[in-house]
Structure 1
Amino acid sequence: MPNKIAVIGSGISGLSAAAYLAKSGNEVHVFEKNSTPGGRARQFHTNNGYTFDMGPSWYWMPDIIEDFFKDFGYNSNDFYELVRLNPQFEMIFADGKLSLPDSYEDMRLLFEKIESGGAKQLDRFMESAKYKYEIGMRDFVVKPCLSWFEFISLKIAKGALKLDLLSDYRSYVKKHFTNPKLIALMEFPVIFLGASPKNIPALYSLMNYGGYMLGTHYPIGGFYELVKAMKSVAEEQGVKFHFEANVDRIITVDNNATGISVNGEFIEFDSIVSSSDYHHTETLLDAKYRNYNEEYWESRTFAPSCLIYYLGFNHVIPNLKHHTLFFENDFDSHIATIYGDKKWPNEPLFYSCCPSKTDSSVAPQGHENVFLLMPLAIGIEDEEAIREKYLEEMVSRLERHTGTTDLLSKIDFKRSYCVSDFVSDYNAYKGNAYGLANTLKQTAVLKPSIKNSKLKNLYYTGQLTVPGPGVPPSIISGKIVAKEINKQTPSRYEKTI
């Protein structure tokens, strides 16, 4: 008879953990408070023909995502069509713009054109980034991080200096490039890690390799195609999904989590995996069983929240790429409002995604599907009037860049999403969107543990634990916790064969 395991939450890490646990012979049930799977990667449809991905839109590190499917005997193209974007994205500056081509040779030509010797420096940067990617993503981030002894291996020891763990990312980039546009281009990927480049280890140049070198992709139908595919794989392993099933309590007896209360009803389980917000999960326990107190969470550096607008335009917007980064204002000033002042920015940066440029299925013919995202401090007030003020600014800058006018009047669908929505939909601590920042003091063993220290059968997965924020790390996180559970409590089914 297999072990019966509950997974709380159907985000990327929950889907991953559930699939791997079920593959090992366990009986797995996933409980999701919302009506559809995916967590922050959900999708919604409008009555007038738009399809909006609600969260992730950058399909990077395709090899890591592919590894998930290969573990179950599939390829991603068994579920969806993946296209490479060219250009990968465009960056808008106060004095011009820069498009990153898909071809590496074209990338080298671009760097050389902007800065003499830039091509050779790009080669050096990417050669080192490739090494970090191969060691980091294949050896470093797959550890459960329950002890520093996990990292005592000849391979990691030999490569420790090359991993640049003690150098900060900004200094590392400036060793290679001097042109402000190239510096901004190379610093951009670490925004996903939730901290200023001054506070991120240079190890994370691996992001540049995983994105720029392996390409920026898009699944036709939207990023939600990945969620549907992962759910399908999990169901094929025998996973049972329960929607609109809010877990309101984790039930404990002595040092065991004996089950969960779902919409007020007790269900018994042998083990529990929480893929929901770590802090929220802890509130489902009596204080004496929590790994961390409120002071701990207050002392953490969180990645940003964000203001998102999902917009439908009854007008084709010219000169707009699939991904566009609006960097006309000072990057550090915006970062300071997130981590220092914790207030709304005066001169914000923002990001635009227009998937209808690539995918005709996400908007009616002759219309555009546009997703605007502006990073924000967590825990700030986000009433509708403030949201609207920033919408007007972002659309104004969109007009300037694309040479269009009066775009606000061409909106035929509008929905905003901000700090308070992250709290209500995902129980996100202070409305964070991307988990904990990947600073050196919050890396590996220094992240919240995947195991509850007082309850031997409660585990945590997702962006607030190892390896950190992002879709590929969340997939890895689910696999890590499944492997740890199977190691600690092998399936009773496995014991009999």
Structure 2
Amino acid sequence: MPSSKVIIIGSGIAGIAAAIRLAVKGYAVQVFEANSYPGGKLSEFTQDGFRFDAGPSLFTMPKYVDELFQLAGKNPRDYFNYQKLDSVCNYFYEDDTRLQAHADVGQFVEELSAKTGVDEKAVYKHQQNSARIYNITNHVFLERSLHRLSTYLRWDTLKSILRLPQIDAMRSLHTANQSFFKDKRMLQFFDRYATYNGSNPYQAPATLNVIPYFEQHFGAYFPEGGMYSIVSSLVKLAEELRVQFVYNTKVDEIVVKGGKAEGVRSKDTFFPADMVISNMDVWPTYKQLLAKYPELHRNKILQQERSSSALIFYWGINKQFPQLDLHNIFFSADYKAEFDAIWKQKIISADPTVYLNISSKLKSDDAPAGCENWFVMINVPANIGQNWDMLIAEARGNILKKLSRLLGEDVASLITSEGILDPRSIESRTSSYQGSLYGTSSNNQFAAFMRHANRSSKIGNLYFCGGSVHPGGGIPLCLLSAKIVSDWIE
């Protein structure tokens, strides 16, 4: 059994998962975390009697979490439970159209047809296309490294490569969706999936049509205890496996000797290791932790366009809204103008699409009686020095006007508690360069093949996991990045 020591920098969901996988294999694992809590972007806080999940709020592919407990010989249900949603999301349009995305495919298609007049066959055809992209890409391009020769020596890889034209990488997501739908509301519905990895549907490849398959085919879920219970349950498992979490300890340097990583330095203390895994964004990993090696900073991946960021308002609302569900979307009137503002003008649209998550719908103690905890998010550009105080004030007013108009209620008068997270605080709290949520954007036909590898090609024994590297951002892909690193180390 291995006796090597592994140090992991950062306790995001990928870092925790990597720690569990390696501890199961017998490695001694230490996880260094600059904050006083684990989870990275997947965090929580309480304020004025309200509890908020501060980061990711959509949970899909729970099997990747369950798998970690099963690897350790544990029953996942003894640690972590969740329920499948009957309704994935409610959608509100400016023309007063209301859509409910039912988990049941038949009901879902009937709803879209009844409310928008879309041909049901077109919806089924789009779903078949989404399934095809998933079947081509999943086992080869999501579950394995694209930077290992062994990946390309497999028969299933060859079959997927021969089918690459079918993943629709040469068209934008919006252009591809136009071939299925003419209705503006349907285009907004399916174009929105580009935002799931911080990209622009008018630029990102139609390969991203794989994302609806994750949500519609596999379903959306709500963890008992809220999203942060994913972190707390996995940390409990990791600690049972003797993983050591070292909090309030910022790593200042990855120490390299003889071309290999041999540990990390925090302030004046050196911590030796046989292998180092960075769960930090790759940009600060290179620029800060490997500052002594400027030749590594010429990596072209570090020059790629960053993904979008987010502006989030955490509002305690002194009322309950029965027309709202766990997940709710309020679309902008002009989707193209909204994305032009984000990606071309680097500002916030005056009419942003608003995502509203209310965990108290399913976890009543997240808000006082008769109240709701509103997680209100809009997509915004990465931080390049904009006047965020001004942009936030303007966005707050525009969001309140939009929600008040569509809900028929003066929302501002109902706010009893407020918190704000913007690109600046996202960067400072999670070391995500420019506050980008997913590392680099996918606004390129070959973005999936251009993400940073899970192992350094220049420094031995140095690995990478998390949303800024292959296969990408979001909880399921971050968990897969941990699997890829673990398999590579083995």
| Larger displacement relative to structure 2 (158-167 or 203-212) | 158-167
Q: Which amino acid aligns with 2:121?
A: K
Matches within 5 A, 1:126-137: 126-137=127-138
* 2:459 alignment partner, SS class: coil
2:44–2:228 Cα contact (<8 Å) kept: yes
| Larger displacement relative to structure 2 (451-460 or 34-43) | 451-460
Superposition deviation, residue 224 in structure 1: 0.5
- Distance in 2 (CA, whole Å) between partners of 1:198 and 1:476 is 27
Matches within 5 A, 1:469-484: 469-484=473-488
Q: Aligned residue for 1:280?
A: 284
Alignment counterpart, residue 273 of structure 2, candidates 269, 272, 282: 269
Matches within 5 A, 1:363-374: 363-374=367-378
Superposition deviation, residue 333 in structure 1: 1.3
- Distance in 1 (CA, whole Å) between partners of 2:195 and 2:433 is 19
- Distance in 2 (CA, whole Å) between partners of 1:318 and 1:400 is 16
Q: Aligned residue for 2:360?
A: 356
Q: Given the superposition, is the C-alpha separation of residues 61 and 230 from structure 1 closer, same or farther in structure 2, using an over 3 Å criterion?
A: same
- Distance in 1 (CA, whole Å) between partners of 2:68 and 2:83 is 19
- Distance in 1 (CA, whole Å) between partners of 2:46 and 2:105 is 36
Superposition deviation, residue 213 in structure 1: 2.4
Structure 2 residue 96 is matched with structure 1 residue 92:
no
Matches within 5 A, 1:24-423: 24-46=25-47, 48-74=48-74, 76-96=76-96, 97-114=98-115, 118-146=119-147, 150-151=151-152, 153-282=157-286, 283-288=288-293, 291-293=296-298, 297=302, 299-379=303-383, 380-381=385-386, 383-405=388-410, 407-423=411-427
Post-superposition Cα deviations, 1:462-486, rounded to whole Å, max 9, x if no partner, equal: 1111001111000000111121122
- Distance in 1 (CA, whole Å) between partners of 2:280 and 2:400 is 33
Q: Which amino acid aligns with 2:417?
A: F
Superposition deviation, residue 158 in structure 1: 4.5
Post-superposition Cα deviations, 1:181-201, rounded to whole Å, max 9, x if no partner, equal: 112112222211222223222
* 2:30 alignment partner, SS class: strand
- Distance in 2 (CA, whole Å) between partners of 1:75 and 1:146 is 34
- Distance in 2 (CA, whole Å) between partners of 1:318 and 1:346 is 27
* 1:40 alignment partner, SS class: coil
Q: Aligned residue for 2:16?
A: 15
Post-superposition Cα deviations, 1:139-173, rounded to whole Å, max 9, x if no partner, equal: 32122221577346333135333332333322222
| Larger displacement relative to structure 2 (428-437 or 107-116) | 107-116
Post-superposition Cα deviations, 1:301-333, rounded to whole Å, max 9, x if no partner, equal: 211111111111222234222211121331121
Q: What 5-or-longer segments of structure 1 have no aligned partner?
A: 487-497
Q: Which amino acid aligns with 2:424?
A: S
1:305–1:377 Cα contact (<8 Å) kept: yes
Superposition deviation, residue 443 in structure 1: 3.1
Superposition deviation, residue 385 in structure 1: 4.7
Matches within 5 A, 1:407-446: 407-440=411-444, 443-446=447-450
- Distance in 2 (CA, whole Å) between partners of 1:432 and 1:351 is 17
| Larger displacement relative to structure 2 (231-240 or 377-386) | 377-386
Q: Given the superposition, is the C-alpha separation of residues 177 and 72 from structure 1 closer, same or farther in structure 2, using an over 3 Å criterion?
A: farther
Superposition deviation, residue 263 in structure 1: 4.0
| Larger displacement relative to structure 2 (434-443 or 21-30) | 434-443
Superposition deviation, residue 251 in structure 1: 1.6
Q: Aligned residue for 1:491?
A: none
Superposition deviation, residue 94 in structure 1: 1.3
TM-score normalised to the size of structure 2?
Answer: 0.92
| Larger displacement relative to structure 2 (473-482 or 87-96) | 87-96
- Distance in 1 (CA, whole Å) between partners of 2:118 and 2:373 is 39
2:24–2:71 Cα contact (<8 Å) kept: no
- Distance in 2 (CA, whole Å) between partners of 1:411 and 1:263 is 43
* 1:57 alignment partner, SS class: coil
2:103–2:216 Cα contact (<8 Å) kept: yes
- Distance in 2 (CA, whole Å) between partners of 1:117 and 1:348 is 25
2:99–2:112 Cα contact (<8 Å) kept: no
Q: Given the superposition, is the C-alpha separation of residues 132 and 442 from structure 1 closer, same or farther in structure 2, using an over 3 Å criterion?
A: closer
1:140–1:151 Cα contact (<8 Å) kept: no
Q: Which amino acid aligns with 2:311?
A: L
Q: Given the superposition, is the C-alpha separation of residues 213 and 434 from structure 1 closer, same or farther in structure 2, using an over 3 Å criterion?
A: same
Alignment counterpart, residue 467 of structure 2, candidates 456, 459, 463: 463
| Larger displacement relative to structure 2 (277-286 or 21-30) | 277-286
Superposition deviation, residue 382 in structure 1: 5.1
1:422–1:431 Cα contact (<8 Å) kept: yes
Superposition deviation, residue 290 in structure 1: 5.8
Post-superposition Cα deviations, 1:326-366, rounded to whole Å, max 9, x if no partner, equal: 21331121211222111232322221111112210211111
1:250–1:285 Cα contact (<8 Å) kept: yes
- Distance in 2 (CA, whole Å) between partners of 1:385 and 1:339 is 19
- Distance in 2 (CA, whole Å) between partners of 1:10 and 1:20 is 14
* 1:469 alignment partner, SS class: coil
- Distance in 1 (CA, whole Å) between partners of 2:65 and 2:466 is 15
Over the residues paired in the alignment, what is the CA RMSD in angstroms? 2.2
Q: What 5-or-longer segments of structure 2 have no aligned partner?
A: none
